[in-house]
Amino acid sequence: MKPARILTVAGSDSGGGAGIEADIKTIERLGGYAMAAVTSVTAQNTLGVQGIWPLPPEAIEEQIRSCREDIGIDAAKCGMLGGTAAVEAVVVGLAAVSGLKLVVDPVMRAKGGDRLLAPEAERALRERLLPLATLVTPNLPEAVALVGHEVASRSERERAAQELVAMGAGAALIKGGHGEGDELEDLLFDGGRFYRYRAHRIATRHTHGTGCTLSAAIATGLGQGLELPAAVARGIAYVQTAIRLAPGLGGGHGPLDHHAGQAPWQES
């Protein structure tokens, strides 16, 4: 049986904890076949982002086309896009995929606070990319930026999720990791009902790439035929395990264990 073909459209993280590097690790660990369209090259590590070099939009579109026309794409995720031209290139490239399941992770800032999406590109993301999305997965600050109001209370988060669906997304997952307290709640609205996923906060600084990892995990599940609530549940469980087993690398926000406890390969 052939694996699900999953495309990640995102920036490259030289430190390996986020971006296409985290996505590829996640997709392969969950049984998919990983492909990548790189939107930008970054110099970054657990301490922050030291440099960003965007790729030309035609390079982004051509990477997507190359994957689409030969191998095929069952599902995709978008992460760091950078600017308006990149958003437009992704829209053109992915709109040509029939029946695509697309997870949009609206990456706007890095863990250390560095801006990763130009302000003028936010409108293009809302108006052009969200209508292609099967699911959009903002954290709390990203949700505020997208809908223009606070999301501190449960009712505000429900309203935000509904507004994101009204913008054109098939469903919205408001992630609660930036909230307060020991208990986390991620809120999924699929256009008809709400689903709540609760987890205990793991006390650690090693959380670099959690959003990238979750969106890649959900896209993999969708490409494998899982229903959306089940794909979200498996993705959250995988991220929780990867955080718990984080290898403790770097002096800042360290990467996860994308092996999630799997032993290294050995020749038999």
Query: Poorest-confidence range of 123-127, 187-191, 216-220?
Result: 123-127
Given the residues 11, 93, 209, 254, select the one marked as catalytic. 209
Determine the angle formed by the axes of helices 84-95 and 57-70, rounding to 10 degrees: 20
Q: Is the pLDDT of residue 148 over 80?
A: yes
Q: pLDDT of 108-126, one tens digit each?
A: 765 555 666 777 888 899 9
φ and ψ of 192, to 5 deg:
-130, -35
Given the residues 78, 101, 212, 223, select the one marked as catalytic. 212
Q: Read off the pLDDT of each residue in 236-240 and give the average, rounded to a whole number.
A: 97
Q: Read off the pLDDT of each residue in 207-233 and give the average, rounded to a whole number.
A: 97
Instruction: Indicate if 207 belongs to the active site.
Output: yes
Instruction: Indicate if 211 belongs to the active site.
Output: yes
> 3-state DSSP helix/strand/coil percent for the chain, to nearest 5?
40, 20, 40
Site of tokens 């990892």: 213
Instruction: Indicate if 210 belongs to the active site.
Output: yes
Instruction: Indicate if 78 belongs to the active site.
Output: no
Q: Read off the pLDDT of each residue in 166-170 and give the average, rounded to a whole number.
A: 97
Write out the DSSP string of 37-63. EEEEEEEEETTEEEEEEEPPHHHHHHH
For the chain, which residues make up each domain, given as ranges? 5-137+208-244
Given the residues 8, 46, 207, 220, select the one marked as catalytic. 207
φ and ψ of 10, to 5 deg:
-165, 175
Given the residues 175, 176, 220, 221, select the one marked as catalytic. 175
Given the residues 8, 210, 213, 220, select the one marked as catalytic. 210
φ and ψ of 226, to 5 deg:
-70, 145
Predicted structure pTM score = 0.96
DSSP 8-state secondary structure symbol assigned to residue 34: E
In sequence order, what are the beta bridge partners of 77? 8, 103
Please report the pLDDT score of residue 181 as a whole number. Answer: 77
Given the residues 16, 19, 79, 211, select the one marked as catalytic. 211
Q: pLDDT of 42-72, one tens digit each?
A: 999 999 999 999 999 999 999 999 999 999 9
Site of tokens 């223009």: 148
Q: Read off the pLDDT of each residue in 208-225 and give the average, rounded to a whole number.
A: 97
Q: Read off the pLDDT of each residue in 176-202 and give the average, rounded to a whole number.
A: 91
- Considering the chain, what is the average pLDDT of its residues? 94
Instruction: Indicate if 212 belongs to the active site.
Output: yes
CATH number belonging to domain 5-137+208-244: 3.40.1190.20
Q: pLDDT of 72-110, one tens digit each?
A: 999 999 999 988 999 999 999 999 999 999 999 998 765
